[in-house]
């Protein structure tokens, strides 16, 4: 009796996981196609997140950091809180960047973060358009991977946000 109940619960749980995976794959497939990429990477769990990072402009290093943080927790359980913070930050960063890259507002990112399999379907099959990479500002990795840009006319080091060179006035 108890075994049958356990098997029933396990079958239902497995069915729910399978349905959410299929919905995610279909939505991601269409989103990738809207971004001018092939849809097949949506079938591969970690690789599809890497492709999402690429098309939204989020640093793929966050995926590596999240995986490493998860592995470290297996060996040093006390760091579980830190791993959770890293995963939550990466999830929010990616969700907001996806929403912006597909012409949705930041409130849509809440749905992407909490129920991605539903919101990927809405975005992939709906009328949203891919605008190009529009990442949320990454306040953590920005300082580590800050790109250095120089003016092509005078060679002065310039800020990434600047529209004109402060030395020679060239439009950037």
The pLDDT tens digits of the residues spanning 151-160 come to 656 566 677 6
pLDDT of residue 77: 77
- The residue ranges of every structural domain in the chain are 22-132, 142-172
pTM across the whole model: 0.77
Read off the pLDDT of residues 116-132 as tens digits, 9 standing for 90 and up: 999 999 999 999 999 88
Burial state string for 56-95 with b = 16 or more CB within 10 A and e = fewer than 16: bebbeebbebbeebeeebeeeeeeeeebeebbebbbebbb
């Amino acid at each position: 009796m108890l075994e049958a109940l356990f098997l029933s619960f396990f079958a239902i749980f497995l069915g729910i996981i399978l349905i959410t995976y299929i919905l995610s794959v279909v939505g991601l497939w269409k989103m990738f196609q809207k971004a001018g990429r092939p849809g097949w990477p949506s079938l591969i769990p970690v690789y599809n997140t890497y492709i999402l990072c690429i098309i939204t402009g989020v640093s793929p290093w966050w995926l590596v950091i999240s995986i490493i943080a998860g592995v470290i927790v297996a060996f040093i359980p006390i760091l579980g809180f830190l791993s959770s913070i890293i995963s939550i930050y990466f999830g929010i960063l990616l969700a907001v960047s996806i929403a912006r890259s597909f012409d949705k507002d930041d409130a849509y990112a809440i749905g992407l973060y909490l129920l991605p399999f539903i919101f990927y379907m809405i975005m992939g099959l709906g009328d949203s358009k891919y605008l190009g990479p529009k990442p949320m500002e990454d306040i953590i990795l920005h300082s580590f991977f800050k790109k250095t840009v120089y003016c092509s006319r005078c060679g002065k080091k310039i800020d990434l946000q600047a529209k004109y060179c402060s030395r020679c006035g060239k439009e950037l």
